[in-house]
Amino acid sequence: MITESLEQSLFGCFIRNPNIFKENRHLFNTDSFFSNSSKKLLEIFDDWVENVDNLKNAEFPEFKFFLELKYQSWFDINKDFIKKSVALVPDKDVANEKWNYYINTLDKVGFSTKYKNYLLKQVSEIDKDPFRINSLLQQNTLDINKFYADALTYNSKFSLTEVLNDFYKDFFERLTDNFEPSKTMLDNVDNIIDGFYPYSYILLTARSSVGKSAFAGTIVKNMVTIQGKKIAVFNLETNNKDFLRRWFSKELKIDSKLLKNPKLMSPAQREALAKASKQLEADHKNNLFLIDNVYYIEDIIKEIIYIYNTYGLDGVVIDLLGYVKSKETQDTRQQQIAHISNNFFLATRQYPFFVLLIQQENKTGDAQSAQSSGRESEDPYMQSDMAISLRKIINDNQQVDQSKRFIQIMKNRDGEVGNTYVKFIGEYTLFESSLLNGELSE
């Protein structure tokens, strides 16, 4: 299957220059594409090409008008997909250049026509993961002819021209909306880190009962509801029901304990919960993904890539590292953690989303020295682009203040880049911006 990012690029070429679509329509059928949006879009393009008057001058505004005129409901649901397709191909010249690159790649391989469609499906996969050929071969999912076809396509990437093309492709993508950070919407945190950027591996650490899951949940809610980001959450320490209890507690300002014992809720609160549930499904069924029964790193990565290819994805939250396992045999848990962390790290180097990995600190409260705990290792900290440490603080009466948390932010190569305080409303499991002072707890 063609991945969604390549699908968007292909459709961007078609939108900017419909002649490309008309001339190469025979290469595609609905089975060529992965997402349902793309399958439907293929049919819409057929309809458009039959109706458009002047193909040479056709541009996105004309296609958008056509969508709104004949496929309004579909366009409303898939407008982000269309927007990204257009952003990947700014104009007609870029469309011709991109399309020629795809076709020339196929022609250079020199295989018969029956392999062309197969190779077209592999272009973006090879771009993003040069070792995918070996992994698929080891899994016996490629026959030898297809393997050599892929290998020849991959070898072309060694030329300086191809490397520079990839460099500028990445450069221009960073100029588009596709590379906007996902903001935490906690102002004093965003003032330090500017949000979570694509291709970032982020570690969130805290000791037990500090509010790691609540902090991550607040961030997820802000990203999904305020910014429309697509986030996948793996609730491994608890389950999806607990995640939703915290979500609705934040949303409705209802004590989270009541959501665990609904008999104590008032009729008005139960009615508000029912409305909020329907609204959540209506607004966010395609950008909030909750998983709570997948524990092996190999299966977690498959789930992440499936969601990314099907819906698109801006971020992934793993709660909690201590519950992630591996199907591969390692001598120690420490080695297993290293293997798990490496998988998350590599995912963020190949795909444009962030991974927020939640890790429990050891008794020393130091994520860097977590190797000594026996449960975790230092590898996540060493590999992460950013580490966020969440701590309780002591108030002026030398008591632990449950309403405040101290945040320390480290970046891998820069060391500490800042620290701040956030307000914690325990009954709603909600974090908010704060400019409060205090002392760290022991």
358 — pLDDT class (breaks 50, 70, 90): very high
Please provide the DSSP assignment of 404-440 as one string.
Answer: EEEEEEEETTTEEEEEEEEEEEGGGTEEEEE----EE
At 69, the amino acid letter reads L
What is the distance in angstroms between the CA of the first residue and the CA of the last residue of the chain?
Answer: 53
Q: Among the listed ranges 19-33, 40-54, 167-181, which one has the minimum average pLDDT value?
A: 167-181
How many angstroms separate the CA atoms of 139 and 42, rounded? 32
Q: Among the listed ranges 45-59, 120-134, 180-194, 264-278, which one has the minimum average pLDDT value?
A: 120-134
**% of the chain at pLDDT higher than 90:** 38
Averaged pLDDT for residues 161-186: 72
Rounded alpha-carbon distances, angstroms, from residue 271 to 160, 228, 284, 427, 429: 62, 25, 20, 20, 21
The tally of CA atoms less than 13 A away on the side-chain side of residue 401 is 19
CB contact at 8 A, 146 and 118: yes
201 — pLDDT class (breaks 50, 70, 90): very high
> Phi and psi for 91 in degrees, rounded to 5?
-155, 180
The strand pair at 354-360 and 315-319 is best described as parallel
pLDDT score for 371: 36
Helix (H, G, I), strand (E, B) or coil at 299: helix
The tally of CA atoms less than 13 A away on the side-chain side of residue 26 is 4
Helix axis angle for 4-16 and 60-70, nearest 10°, is: 110
CB contact at 8 A, 380 and 339: no
How many angstroms separate the CA atoms of 264 and 266, rounded? 7
At 85, the amino acid letter reads S
Helix (H, G, I), strand (E, B) or coil at 155: helix
Q: What's the pTM value of the predicted model, to 2 decimals?
A: 0.62
Which of the listed CATH numbers 3.30.950.10, 3.40.50.2300, 3.40.50.1360, 3.40.50.300 matches domain 180-440? 3.40.50.300
> Phi and psi for 2 in degrees, rounded to 5?
-75, 135
Q: Which residues lie below 8 Å from residue 299, measured CB to CB, with a gap of 6+?
A: none
**% of the chain at pLDDT higher than 70:** 72
pLDDT score for 159: 56
How many angstroms separate the CA atoms of 378 and 417, rounded? 20
Which is more confidently placed, 247 or 35? Answer: 247
Average pLDDT taken over every residue of the chain: 78
At 349, the amino acid letter reads R
Q: Which residues lie below 8 Å from residue 207, measured CB to CB, with a gap of 6+?
A: 360, 361, 365, 391
How many angstroms separate the CA atoms of 352 and 199, rounded? 5
Encode pLDDT of 302-318 as tens digits: 899 989 988 899 999 99
Q: What angle do CA 27, 28, 30 make, to 5 degrees?
A: 165
How many angstroms separate the CA atoms of 199 and 124, rounded? 16
The tally of CA atoms less than 13 A away on the side-chain side of residue 157 is 17
In the chain, which segments carry CATH 3.40.50.300? 180-440
Identify the DSSP state of 325: B
pLDDT score for 309: 85
Averaged pLDDT for residues 418-429: 92
CB contact at 8 A, 338 and 328: no
Encode pLDDT of 381-405 as tens digits: 888 999 999 999 887 788 888 888 9
Handedness of CA 328, 141, 352, 124 (dihedral sign): positive
pLDDT score for 104: 64
How many angstroms separate the CA atoms of 252 and 45, rounded? 43
Q: Which residues lie below 8 Å from residue 331, measured CB to CB, with a gap of 6+?
A: none
Please provide the DSSP assignment of 195-263 as one string.
Answer: SBPTT-EEEEEE-TTS-HHHHHHHHHHIIIIIH---EEEEE-SS-HHHHHHHHHHHHHT--HHHHHSGG
How many angstroms separate the CA atoms of 262 and 268, rounded? 12
Handedness of CA 294, 299, 301, 305 (dihedral sign): negative
> Phi and psi for 422 in degrees, rounded to 5?
-130, 155
Q: Which residues lie below 8 Å from residue 330, measured CB to CB, with a gap of 6+?
A: 336, 339
